[in-house]
Structure 1
Amino acid sequence: MKKLHLVLAFLLCSSALVSSQNFSAKVKDSESGKFLNDVTVTAVSSGKIQITDTNGNFSFDGISFPLKLKFSFIGYRSTTAIFDASEEGTIIELQRDVDVLSEVVLRSSNIPQKLLKESAAVSVLSAEDFNRVDDFNLVQNLNYVPGVFVSQGALNTNKIDIRGIGARAQYSTNRIKSYINGIPLTTAEGELTLDDFDNSYLDRIEIYKGPVSSIFGAGLGGAINLYTQRNRPDQRSVQTNFSYGSFNTRKTGVNVNYVEDSLDIAINYNKLDSDGYRDNGAYNRNSFVVTAGLLNKKGNRWDLFYNYTNLKAFIPSSLNEDDLLNSPTKAAFTWGRAEGYESYDKNILGLAYTHNFSENWKNQTSIFMNSRDGYEPRPFDILDEDRNSIGLRTNFNHETAIVGMPAKVSFGAEGMLEFYEVTTYQNLYEDFENRGSVQGNSLSNNEQDRDYINFFGQIQLELTSKLTADLGINLNTTSYDLQDNFNQNTEDQSGDYSFDAVVSPRLGLSYEAFKGKHFYASASHGFSAPTVAQTLTPEGSINTDLQTETAWNYEIGFKANWFKNRLYTEVNAYSIQIRDLLVARRIDQDRYVGVNAGKSDHYGLEFTSAYLQPLSNDASIKFLLNANLTDYTFDKFVDLGENYSGNEIPGVPEYMLTPAVEFSYKDFSANINYQMFGEMALDDSNSGSTDAYELLNFRLDYSTQITSYLEAGANFGINNITDELYASSIVTNAVGFGGSAPRYYYPGMPRNYYAGLNLKLSL
């Protein structure tokens, strides 16, 4: 009996030793690779807490597996993960929370720089920022950025302006440069469409506000830079998600990630369908994205990006004031009868190579190709277009010393060739009842070849330990060739045209007055060249007198961290003077000509703040407040005998204010945000304006680690809780035809709901 007791005691001790073990690991920054000290590591089941040392180490004694740990550190995203005994010694990577940590390094500048030290107004949106509203429309997230306004007509009808530049564009975004992983998205003509991109594969958006042509070239309003997610070491996973919202809106997506040794691959497919809030508003989009990276033994890297988009989206168009107030769901009469829509197949391909010549010399060179095959039946005609472009960008970086001062030097070039073919046809929808659009005879046939090249250079000098200077310059040349293949009229639009070379300098200063508190000032030049369509006169000939639109931006600002990085604040004031102002004069239903109408002045004040307060090991609360005040007017603007000098520039809200509160507790998080926008003038004469409006939005998220291999999440939200009736976009200077009232307004979405589920399997 005594021997039996000894055996039982031995078995119990052995069992305890098996179930009660030790576990140690390390924590580091996912971007810099630096090991992090003072990270709070909590064992969820027992509540035991460990703090990482200066080398990022932590360990637990007397624990059982599987082990669920939560990692918390101010300025970083809280992370929960499940480990088994075989993962002893693993390295956990924490990602920076760009809402509260201004130390994040900007990727889009030619010379990498911390946000806090950048002598420019730059806003950064993280993946978590996309969770304020639904995930059906990426660009709506930009409406939380001070100085940026997105006019939202439909899922496929979005117009972005930055500091009022681009507000007078009719139906699309122009005067803004944009890149994804360094690949240009803006066409050679300056047109931009971001509606195609999805937040499911994006990690960050960086927005430079105001004329910064010394860095990005022809972008009078600024630059929007998109970056896809970066895979972590040894990550192999499959993630699926499904979302459903009001108006039968459905989104399905799949993400596949594979990382092994020096190779990383990510594949994303998503499909978005909606019946639409308004008549003739159905939407269908299929998107496929591949990113890949390969690091060789010498530390040099190849990166690949490919995106394919197939879209068919019907167009309800704009409404007059009576329909906005009484029948906001209806489509414009002619667009409804013609069943007007746009459809296209788009491809974006880029290949980049980063080579380290030495510790102080580096070069990144990328080649890129874009194509778009589009077809758009409108009531007044049918547009058939084919656009193809190819380009190259190269950038050298060198760290050195100039006159004994530490310096960083960047120089390079970007060039693009674009080939555009466009044909218009008669739309015979009125001759065929209930058949929608029917293609008739051709009305025009043009070929446009356009090219540009930018040469750029930038020097960053550390004048003292606290004062840094940035000097930049860009030289741009732009030209095009227009070939008129439609010879049924006497006017032949064929011809060559080159714009004068434009030199865009920039000077910026950043001064650290106190630790973590920086003042900055800058002066920068920007420009936008006219589109081919704008260079044509009403008679169809080329207007060789049209000038490139230019501007100077003067800015002062203050960026600061407070309370050990829990609070970040930024305030800036700017003044932009635009000369040779390009305006679109309407001469027919879909015909505009460009006019250099004079000058405009843009004055504004922007404010950004984010405060994170931990409440306990499991809970935290975050407060955000973004705002801007604007004063955008025509300084000198006389057109067709009408004097608009002193009037407000139409299409821009007088103010924006967006307070928000985010609360997280264990696996739950909630966000409630309030958006307030001021009045917008409808036209250059300021004959009327929209009403100011306010939107209240709410979202609840839940995520949990079910096993060490399986994660699950769910979300639910309500947009426009108060069911506000408002105009989310306007057509500036709309004209009524045939005695009808002008159709200025796109109705905003009423109260709407959405919910989503996702599963992630790690292999």
Structure 2
Amino acid sequence: MKYKTITSLVVGICCTSLLQAQEKPIEPVVDSTTLPTVLLKSISIQSELEKTPAAVNLLTNKELNRSNVTLLTAAFNRVPGVYTQEAALNTNRITIRGIGARAQYGTNRLKAYFNEIPITTGDGQTEINDIDLDAIEHVEIIKGPNSSIYGSGLGGVINLYAYEPGEERSFGKVSSTFGSYQLLKNSVSAGYSDKKKSLFATYNHLQSDGYRSNSDFDRKSFNFNGTLYSGETSAISFIGNFTRLKAYIPSSLGITDFTESPEKAAYTWGAAKGYESYDRFLMGLSYTQHFTENFKNTTSVFINNRDAYEPRPFDILKQNSFSIGARTKFNYKTELFSFPTEASLGGEFLNENYKGSNYENLYEDFPDQGSVRGSQIANLEQDRNYYNLFAQLNLQLLPKLKLVGGLNVNVTDYSLTDLYAEDDIDQTGDYQFETIWSPRVAALYELTSTKNLYVNVSKGFSTPTVDETLTPQGLINTTLKPEIGWNYEIGFKGTWLKNLYTEIALYTIQVNDLLVAERVAEDQYVGVNAGKTDHNGAELMLKYNWEVSPFVQIQPYASANFNWYEFDEFVDEGEDYSGNDLTGVPDQKINVGIDLLTESGFSFFSNALFVSEIPLNDANTLYTDSYQLINLKAAYDFTILKDFQINLNVGVNNLLDEEYAVSIVPNAVGFGGSEPRYYYPGNDRNFYGGVGVKYLF
């Protein structure tokens, strides 16, 4: 009844207001050597990147396509402070400033949105590569605890924005990418644009046999989005994304197999032919209304559904999650005590219904047949509600001094229903976390018209996942608390001589009530609040635009982060790890590259990634080796018959054939005398190429 009531409420909102509209971006006209002005959409009050007092990085469509086009997250390691581990095409872990590094599998402790629709589930899990690269215009990453706008997400927020044709002509496009491990990606897309509407749709099919055994991958994805403009004062936007995936899982390896046979799958996963498969869709509508020149509202409604089936050696997991929600935001420009002021006030609501059931896996009774489903051994349903109110005030106190204040109020509650009656354990129960207030105070001082200094103090939090809320007996752990973090930061953003852009940030983050996932069985983790961590770091980014001649441009870039992350107070099962390095994250990451662009259409992209050693366990007795990766790509764009644009490209990843661990399992445990399986081997040297044909109408 509760779920139906909430659903009716949100549907009612749908009837009166429609998802966040995409306003036409402002792109100032500049000469070819001057770096363009960048306007951010992800912050509550739109502002220029250089004049935003927070650590926000933007990846343009060009930057996202500098390398292989199979994964959206492949470009994230170019952002200082962000570290992405790609265990497989369907498995990644994204950490921001060390937050989320100790997650056992996948990404948590951050928030992700696609055109303001939450990709992150109600309990904090994020799978971002369901959104294909062809559907993305750009990505904005807010780093560190900044819950004043988006609520839960201790590490930060990743905002994806859908591709829009903009002012270009209508077009149709087909492309194919092929490469090592039987990689094949076929895509078709179309766009239409005029003064009143902008429409885009793309379909792609991505397949690969993978570098390792039992790693076949098959994903079909369809995305459509558009904006309908009604005069100068209103716009309606819509978006839909559908994904069907089946990906086999090689899992992690022990040190012996990792060094001697990295192409192998873990024995049990290979024997069971373990995989994950799911259908997922998200849809949303948005309406933006300008009531006056200084007052507007944007209201969004959305739904998100995932129906999954995952055979694993120890059991078979069947899941379904359905979420529905709404987000609204009012923006107002005025003067406060004669100071120019911009204010934003809004709220977000999300209800997620999760159903999960487990079955016996009888693969050992049916050799060579893969996973065979047996009798049911668990059946749970969880209903989670997320209420979020936020406000922000920008005050231009002096001509060169801007103050920013923000506040977020969050309430999260959930109920668990045990639908399995064959045992003596009843897990049914309700729980609500304490109301969390997340303030933010920041200031930006304009040293010159192109150089800015900022300070930022902000609070963030992350709630436990579904699994972490259960005790070893399967009951709700009512003593569990969300992780809370405070971020203190000073930074500089500036442009030198029109064509050199620099960013420097120094920060410290203190995390309290650290959530620790203790492994109590083959696939059972129990969450406990076990201590505190300190995240101290320095980040640097450089971008340079050098016009060698009217026909050739060279664009070198570099990013680096140097971290000093450690456990401040951490005692786990009687072991004191205070002062140890934080598990699962490198203390250095450096990314450098050079882009060569020519008027003739030829371009060349080079990138080198350096990653230091990573602690494998909390005791710091084991570390991975540091590694270096070099990736190269060349492309040629030309036009034939006036309206046909052709793109040819070829590239190589891991040019030096480095042997390295692309991802790890923190604090892995060996069962039955086997080695702990810490390591996911990275791909060896591999090649790819592609061709695309675009017709302009």
TM-score by length of 2: 0.95
SS in 1 for 2:215: coil
1:647 and 1:718 map into 2 onto residues whose CA distance is 38
Instruction: Give 1:717's match in structure 2, choosing from 651, 665, 682.
Output: 651
The answer as to whether partners of 2:635 and 2:650 remain within 8 angstroms in 1 is yes
SS in 2 for 1:174: coil
Equivalent in the alignment of 2:302? 368
1:488 and 1:201 map into 2 onto residues whose CA distance is 46
| Worse overlay, 674-683 or 233-242 | 233-242
Equivalent in the alignment of 1:79? none
2:98 and 2:188 map into 1 onto residues whose CA distance is 37
2:227 is equivalent to residue 293 of structure 1: yes
Equivalent in the alignment of 1:31? 25
Identity of matched residues, % = 46
The answer as to whether partners of 2:233 and 2:291 remain within 8 angstroms in 1 is no
Instruction: Give 1:640's match in structure 2, choosing from 563, 573, 584.
Output: 573
1:633 and 1:710 map into 2 onto residues whose CA distance is 55
2:104 is equivalent to residue 186 of structure 1: no
Distance 1:30 1:703, change over 3 A: farther
For residues 425-475 of structure 1, give each alpha carbon's deviation from its aligned partner in whole angstroms, at most 9, with x where no partner exists.
000000001100000000100010000110000000001110001100000
Equivalent in the alignment of 1:503? 437
Q: CA deviation at 1:30?
A: 7.9
Instruction: Give 1:599's match in structure 2, choosing from 532, 543, 562.
Output: 532
Equivalent in the alignment of 1:110? 44
The answer as to whether partners of 2:38 and 2:48 remain within 8 angstroms in 1 is yes
2:321 is equivalent to residue 387 of structure 1: yes
2:585 is equivalent to residue 652 of structure 1: yes
For residues 282-324 of structure 1, give each alpha carbon's deviation from its aligned partner in whole angstroms, at most 9, with x where no partner exists.
0000000010211113530000000000000000000011111
Q: CA deviation at 1:604?
A: 0.5
Which amino acid is the alignment partner of residue 659 of structure 1?
Answer: V
Q: How does 1:433-582 map to 2 (within 5 A)?
A: 433-564=367-498, 566-582=499-515
The answer as to whether partners of 1:240 and 1:255 remain within 8 angstroms in 2 is yes
Q: How does 1:101-140 map to 2 (within 5 A)?
A: 101=36, 103-140=37-74
Instruction: Give 2:130's match in structure 1, choosing from 193, 196, 199.
Output: 196
Equivalent in the alignment of 2:79? 145
Equivalent in the alignment of 2:19? none
Equivalent in the alignment of 2:97? 163
Equivalent in the alignment of 2:252? 318
2:141 is equivalent to residue 207 of structure 1: yes
2:550 is equivalent to residue 617 of structure 1: yes
SS in 2 for 1:323: helix
SS in 2 for 1:725: coil
Q: How does 1:273-352 map to 2 (within 5 A)?
A: 273-352=207-286
Q: CA deviation at 1:507?
A: 0.4
Which amino acid is the alignment partner of residue 368 of structure 1?
Answer: F
2:492 and 2:607 map into 1 onto residues whose CA distance is 25
Q: CA deviation at 1:489?
A: 1.8
2:593 and 2:291 map into 1 onto residues whose CA distance is 46
Equivalent in the alignment of 2:331? 397
Which amino acid is the alignment partner of residue 745 of structure 1?
Answer: Y
2:291 and 2:344 map into 1 onto residues whose CA distance is 14
Instruction: Give 1:726's match in structure 2, choosing from 660, 670, 674.
Output: 660
1:582 and 1:340 map into 2 onto residues whose CA distance is 29
Which amino acid is the alignment partner of residue 503 of structure 2?
Answer: E
The answer as to whether partners of 1:234 and 1:261 remain within 8 angstroms in 2 is no
1:204 and 1:292 map into 2 onto residues whose CA distance is 16
Which amino acid is the alignment partner of residue 652 of structure 2?
Answer: I
2:58 and 2:80 map into 1 onto residues whose CA distance is 11
The answer as to whether partners of 1:508 and 1:523 remain within 8 angstroms in 2 is yes
The answer as to whether partners of 2:204 and 2:221 remain within 8 angstroms in 1 is yes
2:62 and 2:467 map into 1 onto residues whose CA distance is 40
Equivalent in the alignment of 1:14? none
Equivalent in the alignment of 2:33? 74
2:291 is equivalent to residue 357 of structure 1: yes
| Worse overlay, 310-319 or 171-180 | 171-180
For residues 462-514 of structure 1, give each alpha carbon's deviation from its aligned partner in whole angstroms, at most 9, with x where no partner exists.
01110001100000000001000112222210000000000000001100112
Equivalent in the alignment of 1:663? 596
Equivalent in the alignment of 1:23? none
SS in 1 for 2:549: coil
The answer as to whether partners of 1:131 and 1:699 remain within 8 angstroms in 2 is no
For residues 40-90 of structure 1, give each alpha carbon's deviation from its aligned partner in whole angstroms, at most 9, with x where no partner exists.
xxxxxxxxxxxxxxxxxxxxxxxxxxxxxxxxx234xxxxxxxxxxxxxxx
The answer as to whether partners of 1:453 and 1:476 remain within 8 angstroms in 2 is yes
SS in 2 for 1:307: strand
Equivalent in the alignment of 1:229? 163
The answer as to whether partners of 1:425 and 1:440 remain within 8 angstroms in 2 is yes
Distance 1:747 1:234, change over 3 A: closer
1:333 and 1:448 map into 2 onto residues whose CA distance is 33
Equivalent in the alignment of 2:16? none
For residues 588-613 of structure 1, give each alpha carbon's deviation from its aligned partner in whole angstroms, at most 9, with x where no partner exists.
01000000001000000000000011
Which amino acid is the alignment partner of residue 345 of structure 1?
Answer: D
Which amino acid is the alignment partner of residue 717 of structure 1?
Answer: G
2:168 and 2:100 map into 1 onto residues whose CA distance is 44
Q: CA deviation at 1:515?
A: 2.4
2:354 and 2:247 map into 1 onto residues whose CA distance is 22
Number of paired residues?
674
Which amino acid is the alignment partner of residue 562 of structure 2?
Answer: L
1:244 and 1:190 map into 2 onto residues whose CA distance is 34
Which amino acid is the alignment partner of residue 647 of structure 1?
Answer: N
Which amino acid is the alignment partner of residue 139 of structure 2?
Answer: I
Q: CA deviation at 1:152?
A: 1.1
The answer as to whether partners of 1:306 and 1:350 remain within 8 angstroms in 2 is yes
1:683 and 1:232 map into 2 onto residues whose CA distance is 49
1:741 and 1:180 map into 2 onto residues whose CA distance is 40
For residues 87-115 of structure 1, give each alpha carbon's deviation from its aligned partner in whole angstroms, at most 9, with x where no partner exists.
xxxxxxxxxxxxx44x3010111100100
1:298 and 1:236 map into 2 onto residues whose CA distance is 22
More relative contact order in 1 or in 2 (CA 8 Å, sep 6+)? 2
Which amino acid is the alignment partner of residue 222 of structure 1?
Answer: G
Which amino acid is the alignment partner of residue 612 of structure 1?
Answer: N
1:299 and 1:400 map into 2 onto residues whose CA distance is 19
1:33 and 1:435 map into 2 onto residues whose CA distance is 57
Which amino acid is the alignment partner of residue 284 of structure 1?
Answer: D
2:550 and 2:641 map into 1 onto residues whose CA distance is 22
The answer as to whether partners of 1:413 and 1:455 remain within 8 angstroms in 2 is yes
The answer as to whether partners of 2:558 and 2:591 remain within 8 angstroms in 1 is yes
For residues 358-405 of structure 1, give each alpha carbon's deviation from its aligned partner in whole angstroms, at most 9, with x where no partner exists.
001000000000000000000000000010000000000000011110
1:532 and 1:338 map into 2 onto residues whose CA distance is 26
Q: CA deviation at 1:533?
A: 1.7
Instruction: Give 1:415's match in structure 2, choosing from 344, 349, 352.
Output: 349
The answer as to whether partners of 1:729 and 1:747 remain within 8 angstroms in 2 is yes
Which amino acid is the alignment partner of residue 654 of structure 2?
Answer: N
2:135 and 2:480 map into 1 onto residues whose CA distance is 41
Q: Over aligned residue pairs, what C-alpha RMSD do you find?
A: 1.2
The answer as to whether partners of 1:424 and 1:445 remain within 8 angstroms in 2 is yes
Which amino acid is the alignment partner of residue 589 of structure 1?
Answer: E
Which amino acid is the alignment partner of residue 177 of structure 1?
Answer: K
TM-score by length of 1: 0.87
The answer as to whether partners of 1:460 and 1:468 remain within 8 angstroms in 2 is yes
2:129 and 2:668 map into 1 onto residues whose CA distance is 24
The answer as to whether partners of 2:164 and 2:226 remain within 8 angstroms in 1 is no
1:656 and 1:532 map into 2 onto residues whose CA distance is 32
